[in-house]
């Protein structure tokens, strides 16, 4: 393995390659789920998970004590439009005050395009919300993909990447990314627990959100390298 990685390092930039593979995997997972959903292949799996999260004999009650239900409502709020929009604007404003406007623009572009993509796929697929159990939260849009899961993954992962790029220690980078992943997982699980999304909606939201965040990051890295190369070229010419 050392020889293989040594050979690769000398011939391939591993960073861009890994980003590409991660983005491709995310998009593949999303479109594979989309095909399965449109063919009705996920219905059995979705129903089993939803019913497993309900009290036996009373589908109106989720499993666990009332405190768990309230906790899930708190988690789902972390993926709400208001919370994520406010968080994005606050961070973008902070970056602008630091004269890091390029990163602020990258953040706003990633989140803005993610919202657009989520909306377009929801309207295209037009999957109804689950009707097996009562909804524990107000909903008004189609079900696939889960917008909360998609946008939470996109926003928290993008913010984590932005912070991690400023750190030199691997353990800090890892910690920041793991926090983003944990928040995304909590939001997605809460949507299924509250009965407002099928599990496959959430899986698709996670996949597309991660792919979109990593794709935007890859584009930003590429543009930054181009800018540095251009700057060096101008310095040499002068």
- Nearest CA to 77 out of 187, 201, 154 is that of 187
In a domain, 131, yes or no: yes
- Which segments in the chain show pLDDT lower than 50? 4-5, 7-12, 230, 236
Assess if residue 1 is contained within a domain.
no
Range of the domain at 216: 7-229
In this structure, are residues 137 and 194 in contact, taking their beta carbons and an 8 Å threshold? yes
Predicted TM-score of the model (pTM): 0.85
74-89: b (≥16 Cβ within 10 Å) or e: ebbebbbeebbeeebe
**Pick the catalytic residue: 37, 148, 194, 211?**
148
Residue 200 maps to a domain: yes
DSSP assignment of 108-129: HHHHHHHHHHHHHHHHHH-PPP
CA distance 151 to 221: 21
Question: How crowded is residue 46: how many other Cβ atoms within 10 Å of its Cβ?
Answer: 20
**The tokens of 86 are what?**
């406010």
At 8 the pLDDT is 41
Flag whether 140 is in a domain.
yes
| Residue 183: predicted pLDDT | 95
Q: Which helix (H) or strand (E) holds 184?
A: helix 170-193
Report the interhelical angle of 14-38 vs 2-11 (nearest 10°). Answer: 100
> If DSSP codes are grouped into helix, strand and coil, which group holds residue 140?
coil
> Residue 189 phi/psi, 5° resolution?
-60, -40
Instruction: Spot the catalytic one: 197, 198, 206, 213.
Output: 197
- Whether 238 is covered by a domain: the verdict is no
Sequence-separated (6 or more) residues with CB below 8 Å from residue 154: 110, 111, 114, 209, 210, 212, 213
The pLDDT of residue 232: 52
Catalytic annotation present for 197? yes
Asked if 109 and 128 count as a contact pair (C-beta separation under 8 A), the reply is: no
The answer to whether residues 154 and 111 touch, using CB atoms and an 8 Å cutoff, is yes
Residue 59 confidence (pLDDT): 84
**Is the residue at 235 inside a domain?**
no
* Spatial separation of the C-alpha atoms in residues 123 and 151, rounded to whole Å: 16
Does the residue 234 lie in any domain? no
**Residue 155 within a domain:** yes
Tokens matching residue 128:
């109804």
**CA atoms of 29 and 6, how far apart (whole Å):** 30
Taking the C-alpha atoms of residue 90 and residue 173, their distance in angstroms, rounded to an integer, is 21
Number of domains into which the chain is organized: 1
Q: What is the tens place of the pLDDT at every residue in 145-181?
A: 999 999 999 999 988 888 887 778 888 888 999 999 9
Active site includes 148?
yes
Beta-strand ranges (E) seen in 45-120 are 54-55, 58-62
């Amino acid at each position: 393995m050392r020889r293989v990685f040594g050979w690769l390092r000398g011939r391939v930039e591993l960073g861009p390659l890994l980003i590409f593979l991660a983005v491709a995997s995310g998009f593949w997972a999303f479109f594979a789920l989309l095909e399965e959903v449109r063919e009705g292949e996920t219905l059995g799996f979705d129903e089993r998970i939803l019913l497993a999260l309900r009290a036996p004999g009373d589908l109106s009650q989720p499993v666990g004590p009332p405190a768990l239900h309230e906790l899930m409502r708190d988690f789902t709020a972390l993926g709400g439009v208001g919370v994520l929009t406010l968080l994005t604007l606050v961070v973008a404003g902070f970056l602008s005050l630091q004269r890091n406007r390029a990163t602020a623009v990258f953040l706003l572009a990633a989140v803005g395009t993610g919202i657009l993509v989520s909306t377009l796929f929801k309207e295209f697929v037009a999957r109804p919300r689950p009707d097996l159990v009562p909804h524990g939260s107000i909903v008004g849009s189609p079900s696939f993909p889960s917008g909360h899961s998609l946008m939470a993954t996109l926003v928290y992962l993008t913010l984590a990447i932005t912070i991690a790029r400023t750190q030199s220690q691997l353990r800090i980078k890892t910690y920041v990314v793991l926090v983003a992943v944990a928040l995304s997982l909590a939001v997605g699980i809460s949507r299924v627990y509250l009965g407002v999304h099928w599990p496959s909606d959430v899986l698709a939201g996670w996949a597309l959100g991660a792919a979109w965040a990593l794709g935007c990051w890859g584009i930003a890295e590429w543009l930054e390298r181009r800018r540095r190369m251009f700057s060096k070229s101008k310095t040499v010419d002068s």
